[in-house]
Structure 1
Amino acid sequence: MMKNDKQVKLRSFFTLFFVSIFMLAFLALLPGEAKAAPGQVEHIDGEFSSQPNAFPDFYMRVNPQKNTIYSPGWPRNSQVAIKINKSRVQTVQASNYGVVDVTLTYDIQAGDEIELSTLFGSQHLKHIVEIIEITELNISNNTVSGKAEAGKTVQLTICAKSGNGPPYALNCIWPTIELGDSEENWSADFTDLVFGKPDVNEVSISAEVKDAQGNSTIASTRSDYHYHVEPNRTITVYPQTGRIVSYGWPENADVFLEIDGSGPETVTADDDGMVDVTLGENVIHGGTELKMYTLGSTTALEYTVENLGINGSNFHTNTVSGTADQGKQVSLSVFARGNIPGSPGMFIEDWIRTTITVGDTETWSFDFSSLIEGFPVPVEEIYVYSRIEDSHGNATVVD
């Protein structure tokens, strides 16, 4: 009888033991905080971390501009406490994917200490909010600028969206800016991202400063983008008559013209965006500074008239000479014309062109004998056209 009682008690003990083990295993499978003993591997959402309290993609990203906190890597559906400057602000629940994504009513400022932790403190993050600002996004010249604390590294993400989608294309670049010890302002150019892509319709910018633990403060902005190609505005000046011809302006626009800082005088572009105005003799000469712009424009067309002159043509020696500044390239065209004998109103015209590099004497000359000697009829008229053009297509013409 004693033996049977002992067997019953043993059975009851083992039954209770296995039931307890089963219940513990069952509870371990329920959503909640995942815990691991110090030094053990912790398993979160199918990924592993070999370091104690080190979670995959476990960080926080704070955006003071929007008062938001984004932080992945928490136990799924866990309760996470948010403290700012050691005072609890609120408790939020991580998503089923272990992500905390919250907008606070608290106005986050640079220097605030933000701490996230599970209710039992097994998992936590801490970050001091950094100084990071985007002060200007200039769509006209494809630049972005801002401020950060001196000595910090600013990581930019600049993306250009094409198409109205879905689907749509998103192309990004990631410039990194290292600020010097006394440098607080930063800027970046994203022309290469949008150049030649007329379907780009939006540009978004994110500027980020990280701490040693990988937590970060970010600033962000976005803007509609209208692809623009600046017209090739050029100016051609004829100093002898004071004529100015300029292309590339908005059609029928009022264009302001300054001469050596005086004015402005208002001229009007035609239907094709061309300005053609004659100011008269002795108004424009070599060294005259011209400036043209429209109302509200941020850039102007500026040009300094070249020192170009023609001394004259010598029909006995078939030469022409002139002056220009040393090193300038003078494009020269010489035209010859003669009437056809016995054919009233009929003539033959031919020309020769060359480019002359002006030497240190600041004079140039050209022999056009080859044009005259082979002419089929007597030459009755010689016309000389000289031009100095810069790399932008602006030019001074003397004839």
Structure 2
Amino acid sequence: MSLNGSDQDPWGKPGSSGQKPENNQPNGGEQKPNWNDNSQNKEQSPPDIEEVFSNLLKKLGGGNGGKQRGNAPSFNAGRLLPIAVTAGVLFWGISGLYTVKEAERGVVLRFGELNSIVQPGLNWKPTFIDSVIPVNVEQVKELKTQGSMLTQDENMVKVEMTVQYRVQDPAKYLFSVTNADDSLNQATDSALRYVIGHMSMDDILTTGRSIVRENTWKALNDIIHSYDMGLEVLDVNFQSARPPEEVKAAFDDAIKAQEDEQRYIREAEAYAREQEPIARGNAQRIIEEATAYKDQIVLSAQGEVERLQRLLPEFKASPQLLRERLYIQSMEKVMANTPKVMLDANGGNNLTVLPLEQILATKNATNPQQPKSDSAQSAVNFKAGSSEPTTSSSPTVAPQNVENRQGRFN
């Protein structure tokens, strides 16, 4: 097949005839193809990688791609600039990713100025523009302070105290004061010295420990409130208070005495709680007895009133006789509870005493069925249905005659 009216070797140089090479030519008269002659054999050479990159850079707006015809390839820095810019942008974007932990808050500074506070999780910041400072807001920190302080009564005492706190506002914690932890330490020392200076040493070492703790906590909150440091005081623990070594033994004795005092107070309170129910029971019993006695007296008085009201008609009928009867009854009641002694006035210088109590006791023991005072019956009897009194069968007793009346009181 001939192209353009002449035969041409497809592997030969363009423009050469299709004649076979002579035998005196090297390589057996066979001509090798020239793969480097791109200007004349472009369509038959393999694809050039550099040319592919040059075309890509042209599309991206890069410099001149390809090679100059007939010249060696030259290095062009404009080709690598877009690649470097793209890689730099990617690296800058990836470097801005950061993570804030669950217990932390991120304080974002833009060119050194406070910009915002970010929450936990994955976040992004423009590198070289923003910086992030993580602050733990859930960790409970502990601050210890101690020192020798002067009390109100001009004694020295060594005090140790621990303060527990945490960050409440990260921005204020970082920027309100130079060092929030150091400022809190100084505020605690100031508050503690103020409280110790307004209390006596005995109270600090014995019963005033809780008062020192509460007053220090209150004073510390007042101080840090004016600083606005973004801190929250959770607890104040009063660790110990010790006197100087020179007087430690005396103060130990004082503390022991205070403890004994408290123990005695507790024992007294326990005894009081034990005796109080018993005393209440006794008081209630006495009240009940008094109430019963009152009811008894009232009922007895009412009975006497009723009895006297029934005797009133008889008194109106015979006043003298009723007076005699009432007198005898009253004397029986009085003399029954009165020791009785009989004296013999006719014995001269000799005094005869009759123990009537023993005689009556012997008589009652011999005749238990016999009433103690048989002769104590009324001398006046009233007939039923009649207001006229009648004399009894017993002889009339004259009040003036003691010998005739003695039988009535046996």
TM-score grouping bracket, smaller chain normalisation: under 0.3
TM-score, normalized by length of structure 1?
0.25
Q: Normalising to structure 2: TM-score of the pair? A: 0.24
User: Over alpha carbons, which structure has the higher Rg?
Assistant: 2
**Structure with more of its chain in helix, by fraction:** 2
